[in-house]
Structure 1
Amino acid sequence: MSDVVRIDNPAATGEVHAHGAHVTDWTPAGAEPVLWLSPLADLTPGSAIRGGVPVCFPWFGDGPDDAYEPKHGFARNAIWTVVETTDESVRLRLTDADVTDLPGRDRWQHAFTLELVVTVGAELALELTCTNSGAEDFSYGSALHTYFRVADIGRTTVAGLGGATYLDKVAGGSAVQDGPIRFTGETDRVYESVADVVVEDGSGRRIMIIKTGSADTVVWNPWQDRAAAMADFPDDGWAQMLCIEAANAAGHEITLAPGESHTLSQRIKLPSTP
């Protein structure tokens, strides 16, 4: 099958790469693209694609002791197998046998099977299932690291996380969210929350994110200085993007016994869509 699966149906168009099982486009019919993809993204196998929906596995960020590399694990750098495609969906698979030589594999040597099912329609649905295919328990972190396109980050708000406790990775420490999130500088927070959220992107467009199997919601924008320091990020790109990520991280990693599975899922829709 092709290394890039393009879906075009009456409800939406989408694009999914075998490289990282990475969704790089979802555009509902009659709407503007919902996902943000860096124009400087490196699509070379072995590199992480900047934008879209990276799959973070088997750790989030720098891992459980803040010392793991590559950042966000090895799954987003791997070539997944495209197992099945339809007019609306694609199913991809990654196993421990596929990643024997990838950087970071030496830090996490368990036997596993990952499957990602991406459904493209009036909603974008992603279901990431991890199965322990080995003989010992293991723990892992994961995230669907979704980059959204926004009109103006300075006018963007995120509702649904009011009252949630969050780890502030910029300022340090933890705090409780008071009302909607607004953006005035670099933001990198891990919220303890299972709630749905709604992004108002500054133009009147609203994006709803509904998740299951996720203990945390990550909210990230690099702002100006951090964006300028990243080679695959336009200097002004921070003003038109926002990451909202369904995750299990920061002490909420998943533990699976042999044969057990866990599914992390995320549905994205424009609330005006039936």
Structure 2
Amino acid sequence: MLEYAALPDGIVLTHNSAGKAFLKIEHPAVRALVALEGAHLVSCIPTGQPDLLWMSQVDAQAPGGVLRGGVPLCWPWFGSAQSGPAHGIARRNLWQLEHADADQQGVRLRFSLPAATLRSTLPGECWALTLELSLGATLHMALTTRNTGQTAQSLSQALHSYLPVSDISRVRVEGLAGARYLDQLSGKMQSQHGALHIDQEVDRIYLDHREPLYLHDTDRILEVRRSGSASVVLWNPWQAKSTRLDNFPAEGYRQMLCIEAANADADARLLHPGEQHTLACEICQIAGK
């Protein structure tokens, strides 16, 4: 584990008023914040741009809690499981910083989930898990899973990215036309016709899809690219459900849309002994102020 006293210039270990630990990045190319619990990227602000991520302003960000916004890591299952917490154990445990460096383009961080944590939270399973973040004009995330056991193990996951929007009623998502999706609200498979406009709750897994997506807002366009992923999740809780969510502002659904690189539903993977898989996502602003 990297000693925090040896961090490069512009990266410091800090704690909020509640005592939660973060890495704070102040670099000429980017400002960012990463919680050590969950290796949770809270904020990524390329110089001269708005934040690439949305974060709830009513979340107290207390130790031991799951943050509402940023990029929660859903692993090693996406959604609910017969036993264990929703969206797995990765976002609920303390990660170790293994490496940090910086150059003119930005900052790179590598985290791992400790072997002891994996053994205690996933008894009977054998995994190694790392997260690499590259923070600069572009945000790049890579979650790598390796099966360290003697039998095949199943894996589903997502980089649960909350993206900010000016008003959900004014945005559209391009790049999904013709794609088939599982509507998790109805349980039915459907097809996407044209751009996606959102005027109600959305909870969809688009399957057999690998192309970039483009979030068009009133004053900028965000591009989302994925690799190691043939599924992408789009989620907005809308008004009624958002009132039942923890740490979610009353009108917060108007300011966010989740576009999540995933291995979900039919895109879940089976990793054989010694095999590894990397789920990666890149988010950048390609037009705007």
TM-score bracket, shorter-length normalisation: over 0.9
Match runs of 1:5-24 below 5 Å: 5-24=23-42
Note the C-alpha offset of 1:42.
4.8
Q: Higher mean Cα deviation, 88-97 or 112-121?
A: 88-97
Structure 2 partner of 1:267 = 282
CA positional deviation for 1:100: 4.4
The answer to whether 1:249 aligns with 2:251 is: no
In 1, the alpha carbon distance for the partners of 2:215 and 2:41 equals 20
Q: 2:85 maps to which residue?
A: 70
AA at the equivalent of 2:26: D
Unaligned segments of structure 1, at least 5 residues? none
Partner of 1:165: 180
Alignment of 1:1-274 (within 5 A): 1=4, 2=13, 3-63=21-81, 67-87=82-102, 88-102=107-121, 105=122, 109-192=124-207, 193-201=209-217, 203-272=218-287
Q: Distance in 1 between matches of 2:282 and 2:194?
A: 23
Give the AA of the match of 2:193.
D
With normalisation by structure 1, the TM-score equals: 0.92
Tell me the CA shift for residue 257 of structure 1.
1.3
Whether the aligned pair in 2 keeps the contact of 1:42 and 1:50 (CA below 8 Å) is no
Give, in whole Å, the separation in 1 of the partners of 2:158 and 2:91: 11
CA RMSD of aligned residues (A): 1.5
The percentage of aligned residue pairs carrying the same residue is 37
Shift of 1:263: 0.5
Unaligned runs of 5+ in 2: 5-12, 14-20
Q: Distance in 2 between matches of 1:231 and 1:18?
A: 20
Q: Retained in 1: the 8 A contact 2:29–2:46?
A: yes
TM-score normalised by the chain length of structure 2 = 0.88
Question: Given residue 111 of structure 2, which amino acid in structure 1 is its aligned partner?
Answer: L
Alpha-carbon offset, residue 70 of structure 1: 1.0
Following the alignment from structure 1 to structure 2, what is the Cα–Cα distance between the partners of residues 81 and 127?
Answer: 16
Report the AA paired with residue 176 of structure 1: S
For 1:246, the aligned partner's letter is A
The Cα offsets for residues 198-256 of structure 1, whole Å up to 9 and x where unpaired, read as 0012x221000011000100000000011111131011100000000000011221111
Does structure 1 retain, via aligned residues, the 8 Å contact 2:119–2:126? no
**Rounded Cα–Cα distance in structure 1 between residues aligned with 2:92 and 2:272:** 26
Number of residue-to-residue matches in the alignment: 265
The letter for the 1-side match of 2:161 is T
Q: Work out whether residues 95 and 112 of structure 1, in 8 Å CA contact, stay in contact via their aligned partners in 2.
A: no
Secondary structure of the residue aligned to 2:286 is coil
